[in-house]
Amino acid sequence: MHSDTERCVRAVQSRDARFDGWFFTAVLSTGIYCRPSCPVVPPKARNMRFYPSAAAAQHAGFRACKRCRPDASPGSPQWNERADLVGRAMRLIADGVVDTGGVPALAARLGYSVRQVERQLRAELGAGPLALARAQRAQTARVLIETSALPMTEVAMAAGFGSIRTFNDTVREVFALSPTDLRRRATGQAGQAGQAGQAGPVSGGLTVRLPFRAPFAPDNVFGHLAATAVPGVEEWRAGAYRRSVRLPNGPGVVSLRPGQDHVRCDLSLTDLRDVSVAISRCRRLLDLDADPVAVDDLLAADPVLAPLVRRTPGRRVPRTVDGDEMAVRAVLGQQVSTQAARTHAARLVLAHGEPITDDGGGLTHLFPDVAALAGIDPETLAFPRSRRATLLGLVAALPRIDLSPGGDWRAAREDLAALPGIGPWTVETIAMRALGDPDAFVGSDLGIRVAAQSLGLPTAPAALSTRAAAWRPWRSYAVQYLWATGDHPINFLPA
């Protein structure tokens, strides 16, 4: 996108918010970089330069615009759509891998050498993994500065900076303000459009606004998460979806509430160093970096789906904060109702989950990790013997199957399909919700087959999958529109 100068200039001159996050506009005459929808008068085309990432603009010596907050743009939808090295690397960087283990850890997770990873990222994004992680740390620092009363020393450590000096230098370089000035400015402008959160004292908690590209239909994504919520781990309370999360430095609780132009995210964390990772996982859970216009344009070209898209545009794919958890829950949901799957999962949580304290609600546990599930006594599982064997086989295999944001979609599918009791429905459910593949398709799902029958589509899984080829590469989103034809609770916000 950033290399198509004419298209980028048109997007900037029309202040097209759809392209926020796709590219960044640097202005030679002012030395700043902006998002395409910046409200200021567009600069002359000859003074514009375009970069594929905020890190690349920063590396070229430009500082962030104080009006449009380009560092707080929605993420590029490319990183949720692409399964190649660069896409996987960007998802892992967002998940904090570079901050916790450095570039060698990133390369090891990807299965490439450090040199190959550096070369690929620089070629496509104009910046290496360290610069990309640094840009993310700068954004985290800004969130903490503007939304909390933490001392600057604690902000620096929580954002992942190794020293106060590096923290101060980075903030000044990126935002052209000292950390103190940034907080003072945010406090004076609280409540204005574009503000990342509301300033106020916190202790392990803060509120962040998560932007998204319009249109956004909250009913299906929040409705799905609420209808399938595992008691003790997830809940719908006072208009918000809440759940416990396992983070690198300790457990946390996130609360997500849909708004008109953002999702309000309340975080209660054991360790504020997990802020960036928690935000990234919440965005991924709600699929907030999607490009709904591109998705809906393609799906609406099909006369069968067009009325569904027109009725409620902007449906998202409900994903997960933990790939292993979603894989276990997919097996528990095989050939049973939503309520039965919740009951089975709740029993596992009570028996093997790690207890937590939730002062703001009724959450009691983290979902059990693979290590905790490895010691399950199959006789304690209240479902058929064949499904017990499937669950135990999956748990034994999960340590060698990468279902993280940086996982290889093709390899993970092959590994899952090779396990006894794991069929196409389970593989595609995990691919859609855990791996985040936008083109997964659960053609054998009962709800999909019922929808197909009502719409005059083939109902046999093979024939339906053939018909669904026209919806590539957005078949995961087509699933959401097909599900929406029914009256299941997953399609509606709870009262």
For the segment 246-275, the average pLDDT, to the nearest whole number, is: 93
* pLDDT score of 190: 52
CA 287 and chain centroid, separation: 5
Of the residues 8, 34, 68, 282, only one is catalytic, namely 34
- Cβ–Cβ under 8 Å, residues 447 and 484: no
Instruction: Report pLDDT digits (tens) over 309-326.
Output: 999 999 999 999 999 999
Handedness of CA 113, 114, 117, 118 (dihedral sign): negative
Handedness of CA 44, 49, 51, 57 (dihedral sign): negative
Res 196 pLDDT > 60: no
* pLDDT score of 149: 82
Q: Which CATH superfamily does the domain covering 211-491 fall into?
A: Hypothetical protein; domain 2 (1.10.340.30)
Helices marked H in 176-322: 179-188, 218-227, 275-286, 292-299, 306-311
How far is the C-alpha of 405 from the C-alpha of 264, rounded, in Å?
23
For residue 110, count CB atoms less than 10 angstroms from its CB and return exposed for 0-12, middle for 13-18, buried for 19 or more: buried
* pLDDT score of 189: 63
For the segment 339-350, the average pLDDT, to the nearest whole number, is: 95
Phi, psi of 236 (to 5 degrees): -105, 120
Give ∠ CA 164-198-317 in degrees, rounded to 5.
Answer: 95
Q: What is the CA radius of gyration of the chain?
A: 22
- Say what the pTM is: 0.89
Res 491 pLDDT > 70: yes
Percent of the chain residues topping a pLDDT of 70: 96
Q: For residue 186, what pLDDT band results from cuts at 50, 70 and 90?
A: confident
Give ∠ CA 444-449-453 in degrees, rounded to 5.
Answer: 155
The two tokens of residue 297 are: 């344009």
CATH number of the domain located at residue range(s) 78-147+149-188 in this protein: 1.10.10.60
Res 144 pLDDT > 90: no
* pLDDT score of 152: 94
Instruction: Report pLDDT digits (tens) over 411-444.
Output: 999 999 999 999 999 999 999 999 999 999 999 9
Res 346 pLDDT > 90: yes
Tell me if domain 5-72 and domain 211-491 are identical in fold. Answer: no
Q: Which CATH superfamily does the domain covering 5-72 fall into?
A: DNA Methylphosphotriester Repair Domain (3.40.10.10)
In the residue annotation, 84 being an active-site residue is answered as no
For the segment 136-158, the average pLDDT, to the nearest whole number, is: 88
For the segment 273-297, the average pLDDT, to the nearest whole number, is: 94
- The mean pLDDT of the chain is 91
Per-domain residue ranges of the chain: 5-72, 78-147+149-188, 211-491
In the residue annotation, 38 being an active-site residue is answered as no
* pLDDT score of 293: 92
Instruction: Report pLDDT digits (tens) over 53-100.
Output: 899 999 899 999 988 888 777 778 888 888 899 999 999 999 999 988
What is the number of other CB atoms lying within 10 angstroms of the CB of residue 482? 28
Of the residues 274, 296, 437, 445, only one is catalytic, namely 445
- Cβ–Cβ under 8 Å, residues 345 and 332: yes
